[in-house]
Amino acid sequence: MSTRPSVLFPLFADLETLDGVGKKTSQNLAGLDIHRPRDALFVLPYAGVDRSLRMSVRDVSPPMTVTVKVRVGLHRAPTRRGGPYRVTVEDAQTTFAIVFFHARPEYVQQQLPTGQERIVSGKVELFDGVAQMVHPDHILRPEEADQIPAFEPIYPLTAGVTQRTIGRVTAGSVARVPELAEWIDPPLVAREGWPDWHDAVQAVHLPAGPDDLSPDSAARRRLAYDELLAHQTTLALARAQQRKIPGQRSEGAGILRQNVLDALDFDPTGAQRRATDEIVADMAQPFRMNRLLQGDVGSGKTLVALLALLTAVEAGGQGVLMAPTEILARQHLNGLHPLAEAAGVVLEVLTGRDKASERAAKLAALAAGDIQILVGTHAVFQRDVAFADLRLAVIDEQHRFGVAQRMELGAKGEAVDVLVMTATPIPRSLALAQHGDMDVSVLDEKPPGRQPVKTALVSVGRMDEVVESLRRAIAQGRQAYWVCPLVEESEVVDLTAAEDRFKRLRAVFGDDVVGLVHGQMAPAERDVTMGRFVAGELSLLVATTVIEVGVNVPNASIMVIERAETFGLAQLHQLRGRVGRGSAASTCLLMYQAPLTESGQRRLEVLRETEDGFRIAEEDLSLRGAGDVIGTAQSGLPRFRVADLDRQAALMDLAQRDARAFLARDPDLKTERGQAMRMLLWLMEQDKAIRLISVG
């Protein structure tokens, strides 16, 4: 079934097939992303106007919209050009004026003939203490009164589209809504008290009062769930498809893992043990693993990655750990080398800077299977890099690697298991929206011994005090980061700010104390400066946000973030995570420019209150919305029209569980509910999912 069902044809027809919609209106509606009647169903009213019939304008406190029955009295044409045309009318209790500007007298006389009754609805205001209604929204004969809804929905508008136009388009589209079989699990519909799809669409476009406009109304929650269910069914189908690709079972007795655990001077957290168990269980399955390891700053992802890599080695294969930069690749090498030695495993690094002879020797050892774990940058993608038996690819920092690169790496071996690690806590609803085709392990505990970071807010006006206290700290042998503001979304302008701050601080502290790193530098030059800071040769590192991810300098215990209010919450949390990695008490100074906006103040306060990255991510989501948290352009995040990922996270969770459980029972959507699910996928334009079923 790879053609759209005919019952949906009217909803997917041209807009111009709706009454009163011509070419121009159709073009204007594109500004609201309405291209067919189906799209109009999901543009929901955001407010409403009470137009219930009242006895008199005296029943309301102006300015306010009111609907009353009046008897038309005297007409007074304007005395000067462009002046007001006034009509005196009388309702059940009082008289007032209806006013028109630039109106043709014959039009007004036709609309409001003297001596006749009319229903008028519009905004009543006081002018010189007298009530008047300027340009009523509706003028009808008494027998036509039912044409005005008691509660009129107000829709978002765009250039060239009025409320009347959008009202007509949605009414015409709603009239085409067919009765469709139920695709949601009936017990869930009953438990939530949801109407069926047909009734839900009608209810959201014909609200009876303000409660019906709330995202928590039964009809809106139902439509939000439909959207999330279609999305999660698509991801679940993609996951099922992926699981049909045969994988290699990689399992062992766990001796190498135990050797490493015995060599540690601390106990892994419960979260680390749980994540390791989930990964090891996946690797033992006959299908390919596709798992996301999500952990807060400093939650110990690298140890979990090593234990997974050792599982591949113990099964007789090899593993690779990919890092986004050379600095991080070398940092992984330094951290993991002693542990790999304790396990008796050969671990090597491959970067773009290896000398030709050195590189050739490593490639030969890798192809022969003598190197068991390879740590590297993009260099491991190159064609001449061949493994003897690659079983597991671990990718550090997901957002630096696209899906295409994940697949390229996977092609280096027979059905390679993939583990993606990210240090950016993502709110659960977004993780499900973005990575719903992957299984997710979460590290939500900090290993013992990590120092809390004291976070303080300081105004930019106290810059001199900050520099003075830095001078004292550096004299005591401490190291610090100074992160420069995001001036605008331009590396070049940010760079000017960073270079300026670098010159000023160098004048205070001296050339051999302060270094500068930024995104415009050649990677090799940046690595040299970072290397000097890591080695303790520099005490103060001035940087743009290039240091955000992963850099580990245990001696660095001070983080100054200049103009902190220009950064997003998640970014500030990542930057703060660069300190507090050693035994010294650490401090993060958030320098802000007064006065702060309300949201700027809230962001900085949240950061001062908590170090819990998951709580910070949820706050970030509620402050900025889903698109901004991930950066919509490259997020791959679907655009939901009804569902609100911030407010309806629990629905997303429910949709994922429902979709996966249902597909386990009916993988080809053949049952009665399966056929209804196909209809939902067509309705929600999930063509990718339909192709997956057709293939299956």
Specify whether the CB–CB gap between 182 and 50 falls below 8 A: no
For residues 388 and 369, what is the distance between their CA atoms, to the nearest angstrom? 5
Window from 244-248, 489-493, 496-500 with minimum mean pLDDT: 489-493
Q: Is the pLDDT of residue 568 over 90?
A: no
Cα pseudo-dihedral 623, 625, 630, 635, rounded to 10: 180
pLDDT tens, position by position, 219-254? 999 999 999 999 888 888 877 777 777 778 888 888
Strand-pair partners of 693: none
List where CATH 2.40.50.140 sits in the chain: 52-148
List where CATH 3.40.50.300 sits in the chain: 255-443, 453-610
pLDDT tens, position by position, 32-49? 888 999 999 999 998 888
Between residues 404 and 152, the one the model is more confident about: 152
Residue of 486, 690, 479 whose CA lies nearest to 571: 486
Q: How confident is the model at residue 433 (pLDDT cuts 50, 70, 90)?
A: low
Helices (H), 264-389: 270-283, 301-314, 326-343, 356-368
Between residues 531 and 366, the one the model is more confident about: 366
For 206, which DSSP code? S
Q: What percent of the chain has pLDDT over 90?
A: 35
Q: Is the pLDDT of residue 447 over 80?
A: no
pTM to 2 decimals? 0.68
pLDDT tens, position by position, 610-634? 887 777 777 776 665 544 444 433 3
Pairing of strands 540-543, 479-483: parallel
DSSP, residue by residue, 593-656? PSSPPHHHHHHHHHHHH---HHHHHHHHHHHH-HHHHHTHHHH-----SS--TTT-HHHHHHHH
Q: Is the pLDDT of residue 425 over 80?
A: no
- The average pLDDT across 283-297 equals 86
Q: Is the pLDDT of residue 181 over 90?
A: yes
Q: Environment class of residue 668 by beta-carbon count within 10 Å: exposed (0-12), middle (13-18) or buried (19+)?
A: exposed
pLDDT tens, position by position, 295-304? 877 788 889 9
How far the first Cα of the chain sits from its last, in Å, is 11
Q: Give the pLDDT confidence score for residue 428 in this predicted structure.
A: 64
Q: Is the pLDDT of residue 167 over 90?
A: no
Q: Give the pLDDT confidence score for residue 229 in this predicted structure.
A: 93
Q: Give the pLDDT confidence score for residue 547 in this predicted structure.
A: 66
For residues 16 and 28, what is the distance between their CA atoms, to the nearest angstrom? 12
Q: Using H for helix, E for strand and C for coil, what is the string for 53-117?
A: EECCHHHCCCCEEEEEEEEEEEEECCCCCCCEEEEEEECCCCEEEEEEECCCHHHHHHHCCCCCE
Window from 111-115, 569-573, 671-675 with minimum mean pLDDT: 569-573
For residues 36 and 30, what is the distance between their CA atoms, to the nearest angstrom? 9
For residues 620 and 628, what is the distance between their CA atoms, to the nearest angstrom? 9
Q: Environment class of residue 665 by beta-carbon count within 10 Å: exposed (0-12), middle (13-18) or buried (19+)?
A: exposed
The encoded tokens of residue 611 equal 């170090």
Residue type, 526: R
Residues 6+ apart with CB under 8 A from 686: 230, 231, 233, 234
Residue of 530, 531, 538, 576 whose CA lies nearest to 557: 576
The encoded tokens of residue 582 equal 């050693």
Residue of 275, 282, 325 whose CA lies nearest to 300: 275
The encoded tokens of residue 612 equal 């819990």
The alpha carbon of residue 2 and the mean position of all alpha carbons in its chain are separated, in whole angstroms, by: 31
- Fold for the domain defined by 255-443: Rossmann fold (3.40.50)
- The average pLDDT across 199-211 equals 91
For residues 64 and 60, what is the distance between their CA atoms, to the nearest angstrom? 7
- The average pLDDT across 254-260 equals 90
The SS3 assignment for 263 reads helix
User: What would be the CATH architecture of the domain defined by 453-610?
Assistant: 3-Layer(aba) Sandwich (3.40)
User: What would be the CATH architecture of the domain defined by 52-148?
Assistant: Beta Barrel (2.40)
Between residues 644 and 191, the one the model is more confident about: 191
Q: Give the pLDDT confidence score for residue 636 in this predicted structure.
A: 45
For residues 442 and 301, what is the distance between their CA atoms, to the nearest angstrom? 10
Q: How confident is the model at residue 306 (pLDDT cuts 50, 70, 90)?
A: very high
Q: How confident is the model at residue 572 (pLDDT cuts 50, 70, 90)?
A: confident
Taking residue 586's Cβ as centre, other Cβ atoms within 10 Å add up to: 23
pLDDT tens, position by position, 312-352? 999 999 999 988 777 788 888 888 999 999 999 999 999 87
Share the mean pLDDT of the chain.
Answer: 84
DSSP, residue by residue, 357-407? HHHHHHHHHHHHT---EEEESGGGGSTT---SSEEEEEEESGGGS-HHHHH
Strand-pair partners of 69: 119
Residue type, 38: R
Q: How confident is the model at residue 550 (pLDDT cuts 50, 70, 90)?
A: low
Q: Is the pLDDT of residue 290 over 60?
A: yes
Q: How confident is the model at residue 650 (pLDDT cuts 50, 70, 90)?
A: confident
For residues 236 and 650, what is the distance between their CA atoms, to the nearest angstrom? 18
